[in-house]
Amino acid sequence: MARCSVMLVLFVALSTCGLAASSRVAPAGFPAFTWDTLPVFWHAWGPQPFNKTTLEFISRFPLATIEKGMSSETNPRHTAAEEKIIAAAKQIKEHNASTRVLFYLNTQMDWEMYDLHNYCLQHKELMWLYDSRKQPVEIRNEKIFDMSKPEVRQTWMNVLLHAHQSGFIDGAFLDKADDPSVGQRRHVFKYVNDTKYNAFEQGHRTLMSEINSTFGPEFLSVGNGKDYDALTGRMFEHFMVNGSHNATTYADIAILQHEATYPHIAEVHIEPCTPATFNTTLAGYLIGAGQYAYYGCTNGFSLDTGWLHWFSEYSKKLGEPLSLAKPISAAGGFCAESKNNHHQSWYTKNEFWELVTDTAAVMQGSRHALSAWVENFLMRNPGTAAPVLGRVYKSGTCVTLDFGSTPPASCIAWADGTHTGSTTDCLHKA
């Protein structure tokens, strides 16, 4: 722990950057953002074109992604996803022109519902990645684009160009934007030699830069699972999924906190969405969120998995956070003290949390790498003191997250006197 004093200095500098970022003017093209109530996003598909009720609901969100299965039950069934997504975007824009609409496109998997897939069928040797056995590589039975080839990247890019030229698409949601994991390298890419695999991985990264250079900074590009300087944001698809020692939870909150220093759009998604996961992850979101971070809790990405449900917490008063989340001496009593502006006396020092937040910046938002680092650190230092984090918002809403248990014990004491959390983990604290 000798380097902690150095890390503390760096952490203070990063904290200052985070607070400065939270007050930046929104870049051109970014979705609307306000701290007045909980910032939320929408991301789904429906089997038929949206009806009026659904469109009225979607219009409540500043940011919406239309998924690949959109209008899959309309003719031509299970194909022509490109035109169906554009048609749905047109519906949304005509209902609320200010909602920013993203076009779903996977950066690795050749989904069969796209017309792009029909092109791939006619040009298999060009478009798909093949292994040393001359077999196409697959993820969940879907072929993989060979992004090592410039012509493949351009063919893929043409899909986005066509969508953007419609005038109804503001950007793209880039699924599987993260690099293949170690597990995928061992299984999915098992028979791909290192030279080919490295070229594929580099081509995939190059694609992210080419999106930026092709469309410019006003085109929203949200990658699923990883930060890229060239993209305008990322999704946390399974925010705060707990590994041993809360390693992933530590990583996700620290990375989310760091997102505001870009600034980046951060879509914070929770799945599965149960009362328990909602309570804990909403607290985790409020602990780590910066400007342009949006929350969503569902059980998938179709309309019937929760994307037509509005939690009462979404309408509660919030106000800007008064600071970044800080370690506190204990959760119980902190929120009660915060109502009387006595919360400052609760702030304390936790060297481990300082190390985590600093390492999140160094690793540029790599969730896998940071989770592994946290888990390894805790295994080597079993006596590490688990932090209790607290954060207060301008409305008086107060949040605590106690890492002394797995998952962390959470409490949100809202300004209106209500609470989100269990009786034992929340109500007695305020």
Which residue do the tokens 């690793």 mark?
363
What span, in angstroms and rounded, lies between the C-alpha atoms of 159 and 81?
Answer: 11
pLDDT in tens, the chain (430 residues): 333 333 333 333 333 333 433 445 557 899 999 999 999 999 999 999 999 999 999 999 999 999 999 999 999 999 999 999 999 999 999 999 999 999 999 999 999 999 999 999 999 999 999 999 999 999 999 999 999 999 999 999 999 999 999 999 999 999 999 877 766 888 899 999 999 999 999 999 999 999 999 998 899 999 998 889 899 999 999 999 866 678 999 999 999 999 988 889 999 999 999 999 999 999 999 999 999 999 999 999 999 999 999 999 999 999 999 999 999 998 888 888 877 777 788 999 999 999 999 999 888 778 888 999 999 999 999 999 999 999 999 999 999 999 998 889 999 999 999 999 865 667 544 4
Q: Whole-angstrom Cα distance, residue 269 to residue 250? A: 16
* Other Cβ atoms within 10 Å of 384 Cβ, number: 18
Contact 43, 307 (CB under 8 A): yes
Who contacts 94 (Cβ-Cβ below 8 Å, separation ≥6)?
A: none
Contact 89, 64 (CB under 8 A): no
pLDDT of residue 242: 67
**Residue type at 67 in one-letter notation:** E
Half-sphere exposure of 289 (CA within 13 A, CB side): 31
Q: Which residues make Cβ contacts (< 8 Å) with residue 382, sequence separation at least 6?
A: none
Contact 148, 202 (CB under 8 A): yes
- Among 174, 172, 128, 117, residue whose Cα is nearest residue 151: 128
CA dist., res. 283 & res. 117, Å (int): 41
**Are residues 245 and 375 in contact, defined by beta-carbon separation less than 8 angstroms?**
yes
Strands 100-106 and 171-175, how do they pair?
Answer: parallel
Enumerate residues 6+ apart whose C-beta is below 8 A from 263: 21, 24, 27, 290, 291, 292
Q: CA-to-CA distance for 416 and 430, rounded, in angstroms?
A: 12
Distance CA 398, CA 286 (A): 9
Pairwise CA distance, residues 105 & 117, whole Å: 12
Q: ∠235-238-242 over CA atoms, to 5°?
A: 135
User: DSSP secondary structure string, 89-145?
Assistant: HHHHHHH-TTSEEEEEEESSB--TTSHHHHHHHHTHHHHB-B-TTS-B-EETTEEBB
Smallest CA-to-CA distance from 360 within 228, 255, 223 is with: 255
Instruction: Please say whether the beta carbons of 326 and 389 come within 8 A.
Output: yes
